[in-house]
Structure 1
Amino acid sequence: MSKKTKSIPVNPANGDFEPGIAIIGRISVKDFEASREFEESHRDNFHLFLLQEKGTTGIEIDFETYKIQPSSLLYIHPNQIHRSTGFEDVTFSGWAIDNENLNPEYLKLLEDITPVKPLLINEDTFAVISEAIALCVNLSKRNHEKLYHSILKDSCNALVGLVISQYLEQTKTTDTLSRFDIVTKAFKVLLEQNFTTIKKPVEYAKKLNISTAYLNECVKNVTGFSVTHHIQQRIILEAKRLLYHSDKSVKEISAELGYDDYPYFSRLFSKVTGISPLTFRNKNHV
């Protein structure tokens, strides 16, 4: 495990990119051999998309390890902590965009589908996305255009839309969603926005203008788990991120996650994971 810091590192989009938008053309692994930046666990302050053409990329995202194969897409949300675990003869392209430049409809859809796994795509779709990236790269070089930023933003959003559509093909479309599905999706969005401040199912039900019993019925029908289970799992995921990737004390982490009573938080962590927060941290120190 890499050296930890007081807070989880956040990588900004920087370099010779238009602020908030980065288009990365076709690159091979050799371009990264001199850099350790991608091997350090971090969050990004942008939405990151990768299209893998050749080779195998190892990546760790929120305690899960993946091998990205050729003709694959990968999306990483700004909340997710990730690092590369190795490149094998890799060629890929990528792009990044922040919330300010992202189409609001696409932002909502990305929040709905997160987290996702690497996605294998067919040859035709791969070719279309590759051509779209090449076009975006060429447009990114035309910074003399009067509407340069708008052109770059729109082209990058087109790429994002193509990726979202591929992930949505693997899930139910909006027209086929049941009432239970719709309520569950709305709950998950609220949970992501409020998990540090709202801990009770009744408060989420109030925000959705439904009864707590009906919210539980919807969520359990769709996911197999109760509303309380989802609330606790989201809190514990963030706690694990902070325990593993920062040097904050359990008391500091408890406060950051909305618990003034940190012994209660420790008991909750132990109940959900089977081990105490300190045991989790010590077990993962290398």
Structure 2
Amino acid sequence: MQEIPNIAFKSQDGSSDIEFLPLKELFARIIESPDHNPRKPHRLHFFAVLIVTEGKGTHQVDLKSYPLKKGSVVKIAKGQVHAFQEELEYDGYLVVFTEDFILRYFSKSSVEFLSHLYNYHVSEPLVENSTHNESFLHEALQEINAKDGYAQVDIIAKLLELYLLRLDRQTQGALSRKVKNEFQQIFVQFKDLVEKKYTETRNVKDYAGWLNISTKHLNQVVREVTLNTAKTFIDQYVVLEIKRKILSSSYSLKEVAYHTGFDEVTNFTKYFKKHTEQSPKEFKMQNLN
């Protein structure tokens, strides 16, 4: 059975947790050593920033296509599914980096700010008309090509940190809300649990138990971060995973039901229809034909 490929981070020299990839070089490298088709949906096990420097086009993130032009930035979080268009009509860079890189080189306060930027449950991946792309790429590439390698990775990390903070400020804007650090930490733990355990349970009480907090407190945390209840968050994630599997694998609907935690196809169909107002079969026919 074909499943959504999981792509691990692998730099060209094998020694770094960050890499700046010109799109032409990225596709040339894949042609030489194809382990996946970037034009087909694939799930990242690292973080990425797609920066468009010229041209126009589209990029798909979690089954939705976003229009791109010069100045566009697409944030792709660890665990998200994305795909390039068939024929690239734009140029730019894909900057990829690992979670370890962030934790090792970014300040603690920056990590807290950036949890907003890469929290794809509450933030759209597309940032339009970024005014910091050219200066960031110029300085970072200049540092990468510098003959003096002293503190090189640290400097590149600080350039990326500053760039991402500026992106975060642009995306938050007037809607910026301060979330208690304690709530952020609990929410991230909850999100990680949902991503790992959603096939086992969709019960809020189970997740609250794993987190050693009450269901009332868990709902308070999730509402503060996402403006929705914990149950809504779980259901939205399950529906997204169902859609991913329907559109990005060769599984039958019965197999999709099984792989997303449903013992009975009838219950699977009722659940999906309740949350999308169409059956899995209708969704598949509408999107694959």
For the criterion TM > 0.5, the same-fold answer is yes
Aligned residue in 1 for 2:52: 52
Residues 51, 92 of structure 1: 8 Å contact kept: yes
Q: How far did residue 247 of structure 1 move?
A: 1.2
Residues 205, 215 of structure 1: 8 Å contact kept: yes
Aligned equivalents of 1:207, 1:128: Cα separation in 2: 45
Q: How far did residue 204 of structure 1 move?
A: 3.2
Aligned equivalents of 2:271, 2:284: Cα separation in 1: 16
Query: Is 1:18 matched up with 2:23?
Result: no
**2:138 aligns with one of 128, 131, 143:** 131
Q: How far did residue 128 of structure 1 move?
A: 3.2
Aligned equivalents of 2:52, 2:206: Cα separation in 1: 42
Query: Is 1:212 matched up with 2:215?
Result: yes
State the Cα RMSD in Å.
Answer: 3.8
Residues 61, 125 of structure 2: 8 Å contact kept: no
Q: How far did residue 14 of structure 1 move?
A: 4.7
Aligned equivalents of 2:160, 2:101: Cα separation in 1: 11
Letter in 2 for 1:16: Q
**1:56 aligns to what SS in structure 2?**
strand
Aligned residue in 2 for 1:230: 233
Residues 136, 160 of structure 2: 8 Å contact kept: no
Indicate how the Cα distance of structure 1 residues 73 and 268 shifts in structure 2: closer, same or farther if over 3 A, else same: same
Indicate how the Cα distance of structure 1 residues 37 and 206 shifts in structure 2: closer, same or farther if over 3 A, else same: closer
**1:263 aligns with one of 263, 266, 278:** 266
Aligned residue in 1 for 2:127: 119
Indicate how the Cα distance of structure 1 residues 94 and 219 shifts in structure 2: closer, same or farther if over 3 A, else same: closer
Indicate how the Cα distance of structure 1 residues 126 and 241 shifts in structure 2: closer, same or farther if over 3 A, else same: same
Q: How far did residue 235 of structure 1 move?
A: 0.6
Aligned residue in 2 for 1:81: 81
Letter in 2 for 1:55: G
Structure 1 unaligned residues grouped into runs of 5+: none
Indicate how the Cα distance of structure 1 residues 272 and 172 shifts in structure 2: closer, same or farther if over 3 A, else same: same
Aligned equivalents of 2:17, 2:50: Cα separation in 1: 14
Aligned equivalents of 1:234, 1:184: Cα separation in 2: 18
TM-score if structure 1 supplies the norm length?
Answer: 0.74
Letter in 2 for 1:38: P
Aligned residue in 2 for 1:67: 67
**1:87 aligns to what SS in structure 2?**
coil
Residues 46, 99 of structure 1: 8 Å contact kept: yes
Q: How far did residue 56 of structure 1 move?
A: 1.7
Structure 2 unaligned residues grouped into runs of 5+: none
Indicate how the Cα distance of structure 1 residues 54 and 172 shifts in structure 2: closer, same or farther if over 3 A, else same: closer
Q: How far did residue 8 of structure 1 move?
A: 0.7
What is the identity percentage for the equivalent residue pairs of Structure 1 and Structure 2? Answer: 20
Q: How far did residue 215 of structure 1 move?
A: 3.6
CA deviations 1:133-190 (Å, max 9, x no partner) are 2134316x88xx7x8xx844x45533442343124313389x96255x9637733551
Residues 50, 93 of structure 2: 8 Å contact kept: yes
Q: How far did residue 223 of structure 1 move?
A: 4.4
Aligned equivalents of 2:140, 2:162: Cα separation in 1: 11
Q: How far did residue 54 of structure 1 move?
A: 2.0
Aligned equivalents of 2:63, 2:134: Cα separation in 1: 32
TM-score if structure 2 supplies the norm length?
Answer: 0.74
